[in-house]
Structures are given as structure tokens and as C-alpha cells.
């Protein structure tokens, strides 16, 4: 295969690649080799991977190729290279959680998500860089280095699933699995120009995934198109007896719905109604980002999706509820290490964990009461709507050394700025999906992606995917969101 065609292959979606694999126009062996070559070329600069599984990926690709030749094609992920955030357990593979403490930890079993991916024929090619213990939103990591944004390598990727987003954005893998406790799938997806879904709490098993705050941890996919998100979600979703937080509910056939093989009257009609909250979500936002959001709404309406303003109550309680739950549960998870291995944490992580140690039982219990009030308020707001639409991030990707940003003459901490609009959907457990909305111009005229969130009712990811797919197919978003060629970037030391 020629070098130019190899690069083109890496920019294709899973939907396109699966067709090529199923018709044997490209083999899993060739595709995995192309992915490994791309990783070797770009990872020294972008730092998306902590561990690359060259040998096992090649072996698994050969097995996939033989099965497909024998007519045993397993579906759209068969032979597709996939990467994982480095806190999702793979048997026999080092799982660091981006930390020094777990730098030599090797799980003895596969997580449920990994087992399902393997059963579907996906090829695990490596473990993606993450903010230490997923305890942050920048992916600036003192132990393994920081992942860099493919759209501007002087800027952060966002996190904590930053390495996952960088891997997909830069064409190292067509999809990755991340986790989301405060926005950690959606934020890097927004900053790197990708689709990223935080499913409903309980839709995807957390068994075999390092905990951060168990009652608000979510697992979900990052990919280049809506259809790709649907295909991966189809594979990893469902009840798991090993995780009592999973819901024993049927999993819709997400990908077949988007292919139009089922009822599809709503795909080209104005059936979908989307509410845009009047409160909170637009109180503090960069004016350039706001312009992108306004343009996105216009484009969505041109696709036949109606939008209108809606009131949402209880938004003033979001931070207090999230803070006590997120910090308190994280401190409980790390309590033993905080006492015995404090010096092995990065500074920003230990500070956050120690704040969690100060959360009282009263604060924690009240926070859970608040989260139910907030969830009820959002469900009430969605009574007459299929989904809500809000920004994902109020700023584009900050520079790597930025600790604060100035928004309309208001100075705010980077963590607070990036997570401001995402945490509420972790504490409520509602499904929320980042959809690439457009670009603003950064320094040196670099394009910087910005995303919006589509937010749905519990276990109604299907509607979010349908709305997103209408937009995605109409504007061919997956073709727009390919970063400039970075293969010749000089490696940073």
C-alpha cells in the first residue's frame, strides 16, 4: 500500500473501514500495521500512549484476518484498532492510571469493556495517556508527560481522557474508550474536534476500571463520527452481573438505527425538538466560542431540528453537589495511599485529594439529595423536548502552561473553566454527547475546535445519536475534523 493511501486510510471512519475489511479490500493485518506506524511516528510528539501493544496487536490482527477469510466476520469492530485509557484493565498489560503508584501494576483479568471489545474482534493496540488517576481535566501529567493537542501542539488536549482524544484526532486509532467523572470524555473531545459520548450512568459496566468517584464514574467512546460512536456503544453497553451499578435494560441497536435499516421517518423531518437552557450555561462563555455555538444552532435548524429556549431550575446547586461527591469519593478511594504514599502523587492531584478528606458526612449526604433535585429539574425541563443543547467548554484549548484564563474580563482557573458545563451530567447520570460545532482561530491562525453537548433523558442515547447523525451526515463533520498534517513536526524534548 502506498504511503499516501496509508494516510488516507487512517482518516477514514470505522463505518468506512469496516466495509473495506468485510469485503477484504484491506486486511486487519495491514490496518494494524498502518496504525502502529502512525503511532511510532507521532507519539513522541503528541504523547497519546503510555503503552503500545505491538506484538499482541499484530497477533490479534492475524487471527482476525483468518476468521474473516473463513467467513466468520463478527461485525463493524472486527479487525479495527482500538485504544484504551490507561486505567481500563487488560489482562497481562500494565495499567498505570497515569500514576507513579501504579506504574508497575499488571491486572490479572480483562475489564468487562475489554472482554466485549475482544469478543467483537476489535484489536487493542495500546493504552492512552491520562491525567494522573483521571483526577484532573488538562492531561498535564508529571509522571508520563502531557498529551498535546493535534490542532496546536502548544495547547492541552483536555482530559482526563486526553490521550484517547489525541489518538483518535491524530489518526492513530479510529476510536478509543475513555472515562468521564467531571467531563473527561466530553472536554477532550471538544478541544480535539471529536464525537465523545458519556452514556447514562449504568449503561456501560465499570468492572475492571480504576475508580475515581464510583457513583459518578462513566465509561464511553470517543470517535470521529456519530455512527462510529454508535457502533462502539453497541458493543460495550449492557447489564453486567459483575457491576451492580449497571441497569438490567435492553440495549437498542444503535448502529442499525443510524444506517436507516429500521424506521427512519424522523431522520429527515423536524420531529426532533431541542431545548436550549436560559439559565447557567451561557452566563460565562468566551465570545468567540459563543459565536461558534450560535452558528451551530443555525446549522442544526437548517437540518430540520427545531430549537427553542427552556428554563432549567436548580442550576445554582450544581457545584456544591458535584464537589462533595467527586472530592469525597475520590478521597475514600485513595485514603490508604494518601496516608502511606503521599509523596508519589503529583502536586495538583494530592491537593485535590486532601480537599476531599475534608468533606464531612453531612456535606456528602446533602450533596446526594441535591443531585436528585437537580436531576428532577433537568428532566422537567426536557418534558417537551427530545434533548437539551449546551456548550461543552466555555473556552478553546488553553496553552500547556496556562493555569488561569480570562473570559470577558473574568479570571478563572483552567480546571473550573473546562469542567464548568460538564459536571452536572455526571452527578445526574444523564447521557451527554459532545458534537464538534466548529472552529475559532487561535494564535498563528491555527484552527481550534469547539464542541456542543446534546443531553438526553435516561437511557435514551439513541435520540442523541439520531440528532447528532442528522447534523453529521448533512455537514460531513467527520471530514472537517481532521487536523493539519503533523507527521513532520519536530519532536519536543
- Catalogue the active-site residues: 85, 160, 184
* Cβ(378)–Cβ(269) below 8 Å: no
- SS3 label, residue 334: helix
The rounded Cα 293 to chain-centroid distance in angstroms is 20
Q: Please name which of 358, 369, 366 lies closest in space to residue 328, comparing C-alpha atoms.
A: 358
* Alpha-carbon 347 to chain mean position: 25
How far is the C-alpha of 382 from the C-alpha of 40, rounded, in Å?
46
Angle between helices 28-46 and 54-69 (to 10 degrees): 160
Burial code of 437-468, b = ≥16 C-beta within 10 A, e = fewer? Answer: bbbbebeeebbbbbbbbbbbbbbbbbbbbbbb
Q: How far apart are the first and last CA of the chain?
A: 32
The angle at the Cα of 197, spanning 194 to 202, to the nearest 5 degrees, equals 165
- What gap in Å lies between CA 234 and CA 256, rounded to an integer? 10
Reduced to 3 states, what is the DSSP secondary structure of residue 82? Answer: strand
Which three-class secondary structure state does DSSP give residue 440? strand
Cα separation of 103 and 130, whole Å? 13
> CA separation (Å) from 254 to 11, 257, 459, 481?
23, 5, 12, 23
Q: How far apart are CA 77 and CA 465, in angstroms?
A: 18
- CB neighbours of residue 271 within 10 Å: 14
Q: Is the dihedral of CA 336, 337, 342, 348 positive or negative?
A: negative
**What grid cell was written down for 337?**
495511599
Amino acid at each position: 500500500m502506498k504511503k499516501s493511501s496509508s494516510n488516507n486510510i487512517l482518516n477514514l471512519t470505522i463505518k468506512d473501514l469496516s466495509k473495506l475489511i468485510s469485503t477484504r479490500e484491506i486486511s486487519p493485518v495491514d490496518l494494524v500495521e498502518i496504525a502502529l506506524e502512525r503511532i511510532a511516528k507521532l507519539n513522541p510528539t503528541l504523547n497519546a500512549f503510555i503503552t503500545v501493544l505491538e506484538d499482541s496487536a499484530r497477533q490479534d490482527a492475524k487471527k482476525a484476518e483468518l476468521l474473516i477469510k473463513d467467513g466468520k466476520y463478527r461485525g463493524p469492530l472486527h479487525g479495527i484498532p482500538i485504544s484504551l485509557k490507561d486505567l481500563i484493565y487488560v489482562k497481562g498489560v500494565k495499567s498505570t492510571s497515569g500514576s507513579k503508584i501504579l506504574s508497575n501494576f499488571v491486572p490479572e483479568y480483562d475489564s468487562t469493556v475489554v472482554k466485549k471489545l475482544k469478543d467483537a474482534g476489535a484489536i487493542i493496540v495500546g493504552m492512552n495517556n491520562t491525567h494522573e488517576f483521571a483526577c484532573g481535566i488538562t492531561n498535564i501529567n508529571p509522571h508520563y508527560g502531557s498529551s498535546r493537542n493535534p490542532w496546536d501542539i502548544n495547547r492541552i488536549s483536555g482530559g482526563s481522557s486526553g490521550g484517547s482524544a489525541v489518538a483518535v484526532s491524530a489518526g492513530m486509532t479510529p476510536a478509543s474508550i475513555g472515562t468521564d467523572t467531571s467531563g473527561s470524555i466530553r472536554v477532550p473531545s471538544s478541544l480535539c474536534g471529536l464525537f465523545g459520548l458519556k452514556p447514562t450512568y449504568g449503561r456501560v459496566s465499570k468492572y475492571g476500571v480504576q475508580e475515581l468517584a464510583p457513583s459518578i464514574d462513566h465509561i464511553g467512546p470517543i470517535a470521529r463520527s456519530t455512527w462510529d460512536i454508535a457502533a462502539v456503544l453497541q458493543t460495550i453497553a449492557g447489564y453486567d452481573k459483575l457491576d451492580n451499578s449497571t441497569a438490567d435494560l435492553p440495549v437498542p441497536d444503535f448502529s442499525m438505527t443510524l444506517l436507516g435499516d429500521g424506521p427512519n421517518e424522523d431522520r429527515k423531518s423536524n420531529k426532533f425538538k431541542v431545548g436550549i437552557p436560559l439559565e447557567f450555561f451561557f452566563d460565562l462563555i468566551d465570545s468567540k466560542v459563543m459565536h461558534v455555538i450560535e452558528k451551530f444552532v443555525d446549522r442544526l435548524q437548517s437540518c430540520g431540528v427545531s430549537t427553542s429556549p427552556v428554563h432549567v431550575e436548580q442550576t445554582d446547586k450544581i457545584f456544591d453537589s458535584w464537589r462533595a461527591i467527586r472530592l469525597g469519593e475520590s478521597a475514600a478511594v485513595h485514603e490508604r495511599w494518601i496516608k502511606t504514599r503521599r509523596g508519589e502523587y503529583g502536586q495538583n492531584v494530592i491537593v485535590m485529594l486532601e480537599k476531599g478528606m475534608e468533606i464531612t458526612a453531612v456535606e456528602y449526604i446533602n450533596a446526594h439529595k441535591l443531585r436528585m433535585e437537580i436531576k428532577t429539574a433537568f428532566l422537567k425541563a426536557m418534558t417537551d423536548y427530545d434533548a437539551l443543547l449546551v456548550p461543552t467548554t466555555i473556552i478553546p484549548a488553553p496553552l500547556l502552561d496556562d493555569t488561569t484564563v480570562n473570559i470577558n474580563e473574568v479570571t478563572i482557573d483552567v480546571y473550573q473553566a473546562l469542567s464548568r458545563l460538564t459536571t452536572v451530567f455526571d452527578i445526574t447520570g444523564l447521557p451527554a454527547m459532545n458534537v464538534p460545532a466548529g472552529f475559532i482561530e487561535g494564535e498563528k491562525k491555527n484552527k481550534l475546535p469547539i464542541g456542543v453537548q446534546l443531553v438526553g433523558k435516561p437511557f435514551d442515547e439513541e435520540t442523541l445519536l439520531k440528532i447528532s447523525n442528522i447534523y453529521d451526515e448533512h455537514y460531513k463533520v467527520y471530514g472537517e475534523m481532521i487536523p493539519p498534517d503533523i507527521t513532520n513536526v519536530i519532536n519536543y524534548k
